[in-house]
Amino acid sequence: MTRPASVLLLLIAVAVAGSAARAKDGQALNPPQAFDSITDKAERSVGLFTEAAKVLTHPRCINCHPAGDQPLQGTSDRLHEPPVQRGRGGLGATGMRCRTCHSTANFDPGRVPGAPLWRLAPSGMAWEGLTLTELCEQIKDPERNGRRTLGEILEHVSEDALVGWGWSPGADREPVPGSQEEFGDLIRVWIKTGAVCP
């Protein structure tokens, strides 16, 4: 069945308006090329990280990198309900593992988020409450980033399905800005320009 041209035009207009609204609300990420006019390599690197930090400091990321042993929910720093603990390996406490409720995919009818290997980041990788400088330094420090090289950090943020969940959180949850590919591009060029911290 084909749709009348007027309906197709209306659908396109709605999609464009939605895209513009997301960009207006800060949901877009500037691509690395937007920083090409910054001739000082270190300043460009700082600009790239600051742009990538729109993702890193978004509640979707902070919720899984909390300062305490309880994950957060939503966009308002509220503690996870029901109350749960980080547990060994970030997988929840004995008897109340993350996988008790969370599966490998979102269950929107029950508003239960899910992704492969659902868990909290290790406590040493807590981002909640850090300044951009502190966050940047932690990401670069193998002692505090899961013993990853910068190349492994890039692979993690570009390809990990759990990280990717932030862009597809399901239900009516606000996704992190941009896309995983755009975020990965920013991190890749940030590394290429020296991985300079703000």
Nearest to 166 by CA among 146, 154, 180, 182: 180
Q: pLDDT value at position 126?
A: 93
β-pairing, 72-73 vs 96-97, is unpaired
What size, in residues, is the chain? 198
Q: Note whether residue 60 is domain-resident.
A: yes
Is 18 a domain residue?
no
Q: pLDDT of 50-66, one tens digit each? A: 999 999 999 999 999 99
The verdict on residue 11 lying in a domain is no
Based on the structure, what is the number of domains in the chain?
A: 1
Is residue 1 assigned to a domain? no
Whether 70 maps to a domain, the answer reads: yes
Residue 40 lies in a domain: yes
In this prediction, residue 27 carries a pLDDT of 81
The strand pairing partners of 107, in sequence order, are 112
Look at 25-39, 45-59, 126-140, 157-171 and tell me which has the smallest mean pLDDT: 25-39
Mean pLDDT confidence for 162-172: 96
At residue 159 the predicted structure's pLDDT band, cuts being 50, 70 and 90, is very high
Q: What is the pLDDT of residue 67?
A: 93
Per-residue model confidence as pLDDT tens digits over 79-95: 999 999 999 999 999 99
Q: With a cut of 60, say whether residue 26 has pLDDT above it.
A: no
pLDDT at 19 over 70: no
Question: Helix (H, G, I), strand (E, B), or coil: what is residue 96?
Answer: strand
H/E element, 123: none
Residue 175 lies in a domain: yes
Does a cis peptide bond (omega within 30 degrees of 0) precede residue 32?
A: no
Closest CA to 126 of 154, 157, 90: 90
pLDDT of residue 20: 36
Domain membership of residue 93 (yes or no) is yes
What's the pTM value of the predicted model, to 2 decimals?
A: 0.84
User: Could you tell me the residue range of the domain that residue 101 belongs to?
Assistant: 24-192
